[in-house]
């Protein structure tokens, strides 16, 4: 947030807009105004907005619809919204909060109360801005780790896209898809602690070197532990090398101890490793990659349903692998 927060006031009654503008601008806020819902969305898309004061009943696009649209867009969903409405029925209030409004104020309102809620909502925004930037720092760090190894370029992107597509195909709930998105993006961040001499070694690794590589799962977990927005994505970072028969690392989880989002990330990670070129070999063909994946399914190391879903995605023409 900049030193002077921007508040967007949206109301189809110009007098209400002027009243709020006259009240808020002298308090040091940068006030933007709109008189219908569509205009409000256009302003949010092209300006920085830290808080929206949103009338509910408006022509063209109602406040509820504006709120729904913004909350569905990852780029704008963290902007707090205070709904302001003459509607005072309990159900209207519930509808407003249901679509993601932070507060709901009924007209006529007391300006001091409104001001208190504006300040509280902007505090929430400042906090989420901090959390978001912490997440961005870690994601850049993960990309920097990847950039050390020219052979794994775009591995993170491909694994994230593939794991998300598999999660959607297997009907995971939205929350678990979010865990996959962030977990996949950060899964190998712990490799920041792996020496180049091991990470970039062209030949076969000794068992000591492999032990060193294995540490990246726990290192990544420790690095991201404080990240408030990560949720269960943290488990994906820690466990993406576990195997169903208990032979994986770092914990040696087995069977039901490994949940579906983790199983999905594991398959996506292995598939991408097999089909991409590495410093010690060229990427394998799709046929050969699937042959290896299905043999791992047979050995009860990875999830057969996930590998079948991956096969179906490919048969339907989706391309998630590196072209060699
Ligand atoms: Fe890994």
Give me ligand 1 centre to Cα 241, in Å: 6
Q: What is the DSSP letter of 33?
A: E
What is the structure's pLDDT at 92?
77
Give me ligand 1 centre to Cα 56, in Å: 48
Which of the residues are catalytic?
191
Residue identified by tokens 């990560």 is 230
Give me ligand 1 centre to Cα 277, in Å: 16
CATH top-level class of 148-315 = mainly alpha
What is the structure's pLDDT at 269?
96
Strand partners, 30: 6
Query: Which CATH number describes the domain made up of 6-129?
Result: 3.40.50.2300
What is the structure's pLDDT at 150?
59
Helix (H) / strand (E) element for 7: namely: strand 6-10
Task: Indicate the pTM of the whole model.
Answer: 0.66
3-state secondary structure of 83: strand
Return per-residue pLDDT of the chain as tens, 324 residues.
447 999 999 999 999 999 999 999 999 999 999 999 999 999 999 999 999 999 998 888 999 999 999 988 878 888 999 999 887 777 777 887 888 888 889 888 899 999 999 999 998 888 778 777 777 788 877 877 777 765 566 888 899 999 999 999 999 999 999 999 999 999 999 998 888 888 888 888 899 999 999 999 999 999 888 776 788 999 999 999 999 999 999 999 999 999 999 999 999 999 999 998 876 678 899 999 999 999 999 999 999 999 999 999 999 877 776 655
| Total length of the chain | 324
What is the structure's pLDDT at 1?
47
Helix (H) / strand (E) element for 198: namely: helix 196-199
What is the structure's pLDDT at 322?
64
Contact between 289 and 268 (Cβ < 8 Å): no
Helix (H) / strand (E) element for 9: namely: strand 6-10
Give me ligand 1 centre to Cα 162, in Å: 15
Can you give the residue ranges of every domain in the chain? 6-129, 148-315
CA distance 17 to 11: 6
Give me ligand 1 centre to Cα 236, in Å: 10
What is the structure's pLDDT at 70?
92
Tally of CA atoms within 13 A in the half-sphere of 121 that contains its CB: 26
Helix (DSSP H) and strand (DSSP E) numbers for the chain: 14, 5
Domains 6-129 and 148-315 share a fold: no
């Amino acid at each position: 947030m900049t030193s002077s927060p921007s508040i967007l006031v949206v109301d189809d009654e110009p007098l209400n807009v002027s009243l709020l503008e006259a009240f808020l601008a002298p308090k040091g806020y940068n006030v933007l105004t709109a008189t219908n819902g569509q205009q409000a969305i256009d302003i949010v898309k092209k300006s920085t907005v830290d808080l929206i004061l949103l009338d509910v009943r408006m022509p063209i696009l109602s406040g509820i619809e504006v709120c729904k649209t913004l909350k569905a867009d990852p780029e704008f969903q963290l902007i707090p919204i205070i709904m302001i409405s003459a509607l005072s029925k309990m159900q209207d209030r519930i509808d407003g909060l249901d679509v993601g409004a932070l507060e709901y104020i009924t007209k006529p309102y007391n300006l001091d109360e409104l001001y208190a809620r504006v300040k509280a909502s902007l505090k929430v925004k400042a906090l989420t801005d901090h959390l978001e930037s912490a997440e961005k720092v870690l994601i850049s760090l993960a990309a920097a780790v990847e950039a050390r190894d020219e052979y794994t370029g775009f591995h993170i992107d491909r694994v994230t896209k593939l794991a998300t597509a598999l999660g959607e195909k297997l009907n995971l709930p939205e929350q678990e898809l979010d865990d996959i998105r962030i977990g996949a993006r950060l899964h190998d961040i712990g490799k920041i602690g792996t020496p180049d001499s091991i990470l970039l070694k062209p030949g076969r690794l000794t068992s000591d070197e492999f032990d060193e590589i294995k540490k990246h799962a726990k290192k990544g977990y420790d690095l991201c532990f404080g990240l408030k927005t990560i949720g269960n994505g943290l488990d994906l970072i820690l466990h993406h090398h576990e195997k169903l028969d208990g032979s994986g690392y770092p914990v040696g989880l087995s069977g039901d101890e490994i949940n579906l989002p983790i199983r999905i990330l594991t398959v996506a990670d292995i598939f991408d490793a097999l089909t991409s070129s590495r410093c010690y070999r060229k990427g394998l063909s799709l046929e050969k990659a699937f042959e290896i994946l299905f043999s791992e399914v047979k050995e009860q190391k990875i999830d057969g349903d996930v590998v079948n879903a991956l096969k179906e995605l490919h048969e339907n023409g989706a391309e998630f692998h590196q072209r060699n």
